[in-house]
Amino acid sequence: MRFRRHLELEKGQKEINITPLVDMVFLLLIFFMLTSSFIIMPGIKINLPKAVTSEAIREKNIIITINNENAIYLNEKPITTTELTQHLAEVVKSKKEKPLLIKADKDAQLGIVVKIWDICRKVGITQINIATLQEIK
Domains, the chain, with CATH or none: 50-134 (3.30.420.270)
pLDDT band at 136 (very low <50, low <70, confident <90, very high): low
pLDDT value of position 92: 85
- State the CB neighbour count (10 A cutoff) for residue 46: 18
Could you give the CA distance from residue 46 to residue 134 in angstroms, rounded to a whole number?
A: 15
The strand ranges marked E within 1-120 are 50-51, 62-66, 72-74, 77-78, 100-104
Res 32 pLDDT > 80:
yes
pLDDT value of position 23: 92
Question: pLDDT, tens digit, for every residue of 49-108?
Answer: 666 665 666 667 788 888 888 888 888 888 888 898 898 888 888 877 677 888 888 888
Q: Which secondary-structure segment (H or E) carries 133? A: strand 133-134
Check residue 11 and report its DSSP letter: T
